[in-house]
Amino acid sequence: MRTVVLAGGVGGGRFARAVVESIPPADVTVIGNVGDDLEVLGVHVSPDLDSILYALAGLNDEERGWGRADETWNALDTVSALGGETWFRLGDRDIGLHLVRTEALRAGRALSDVTAELARALGVESAILPATDDVLRTWIDTEAGTFSLEEWFVARGHRDEVDAVRFEGAQAARPAPGVLEAIAAVELLLVAPSNPFVSIGPILAVAEIRAALERRRVPAVAVSPLIGGRAVKGPADGMLARLAGGTSPAHVAGCYRGLVDTLVFDEADEGGADAVAELGVRPVVTRTLMRDEDARRRLMESVLEAAGAFA
């Protein structure tokens, strides 16, 4: 079944792995967020694409949730000793990938092209597509000032309350090659349990992508990133409370109005089912914490059943 997954980083990577454990990997296209991309120490980092890449290649660090397993930090220790920037954590193995990508980008190659090559080299059978090859950057407005996504998230520990999220370059951004084709051919559309504002938001901010998704005629299922109204990790709960007015499943569903027909959310939020249905979105309650392969399989059974595709 040709499947498209919209995904951010940690929740996106975990879910992408769940998807390819249940659907043949070659049938799966992941469309990833590039709003967090940054240049640090002279290298181009695509945090969310890398989380997906590492998760699908089986190289990710489960505990930390980002970066590679068996990582070492010698390069960054040297940077620190020399008084360089160390707020953004880059492991030695990770840096190797960034070097290859950065060189290719400087040689004029598109991010989508480089990403495909990295995925191939790491044995990933699914397609991993950046939403766009154009520069699209997420900015976070707070009382303390405006920060790039990673500066707010990592350097400031996402403590500042978010007044607004803006996507610089989104207006002019075109979908990366393959994105519209994948959506046109899709049989099942999935939205990962990623942050709706800063992970899925930048993908939907590309007008042609949103329009293509709105036109689809196939089941679309989103999985909520909140469990018991709380994010498993990161700022999604606080952002929903502040920017959407609450942390119930209906508030999550509201972020995807007109885009999904089903929201899968956790048993801990069961009480919110009626409010989801009132939005015209089908509520599906299950356990959504992807702690191991069994949990991922059970979540995917619910997702596929919800999509009416469970053979």
Taking the least distance from each CB to ligand GDP, the nearer of 109 and 166 is 166
Q: Please choose which of Ca ion, ligand GDP, none residue 14 contacts, taking the beta carbon within 5 to 8 angstroms, the exact cut-off set by kind.
A: ligand GDP
Smallest separation (angstroms) from Ca ion to the CB of 267:
26
Q: Does 225 bind ligand GDP (CB under 6 A)?
A: yes
Q: Please choose which of ligand GDP, Ca ion, none residue 196 contacts, taking the beta carbon within 5 to 8 angstroms, the exact cut-off set by kind.
A: none
Stretch that binds Ca ion, among 4-12, 163-171, 264-272, 302-310 (CB under 5 A): 4-12
Residues in contact with ligand GDP, shown as a per-residue x/- string from 233 to 252 under the rule CB under 6 A: xx-x----------------
Q: Does 302 bind ligand GDP (CB under 6 A)?
A: no
Q: Does 176 bind ligand GDP (CB under 6 A)?
A: no
CA neighbours closer than 13 Å in the CB half-sphere of residue 82 = 9
Q: What is the CA radius of gyration of the chain?
A: 18
Question: What number of chain residues touch ligand GDP (CB under 6 A)?
Answer: 26
The DSSP annotation for the chain comes to --EEEEE-SHHHHHHHHHHHHHS-GGGEEEEE--TT-EEETTEEE-HHHHHHHHHHHT-B-TTTSSSBTT---HHHHHHHHTT---SS---HHHHHHHHHHHHHHHTT--HHHHHHHHHHHTT--SEEEESBSS--EEEEEETTEEEEHHIIIIITTT-SPEEEEEEETTTTPPBPTTHHHHHHT-SEEEE-SS-IIIIIHHHHTSHHHHHHHHH--S-EEEE-SEETTEESSSSHHHHIIIIIS--SHHHHHHHTTTT-SEEEEEGGGGGGHHHHHHTT-EEEEE-----SHHHHHHHHHHHHHHTT---
Smallest separation (angstroms) from ligand GDP to the CB of 48:
5
In the window 30-59, what residues touch Ca ion (CB under 5 A)?
A: 36, 48
In the window 118-137, what residues touch ligand GDP (CB under 6 A)?
A: none
In the window 38-67, what residues touch ligand GDP (CB under 6 A)?
A: 48, 51
Taking the least distance from each CB to ligand GDP, the nearer of 39 and 77 is 39
Q: Please choose which of Ca ion, ligand GDP, none residue 225 contacts, taking the beta carbon within 5 to 8 angstroms, the exact cut-off set by kind.
A: ligand GDP
Q: Does 202 bind ligand GDP (CB under 6 A)?
A: no
- With CB under 6 A as the contact rule, the residue among 3, 195, 248, 302 that binds ligand GDP is 195
Binding-site ranges for ligand GDP (CB under 6 A): 7-12, 14, 48, 51, 192-195, 199, 223-225, 227, 231-234, 236, 288-290
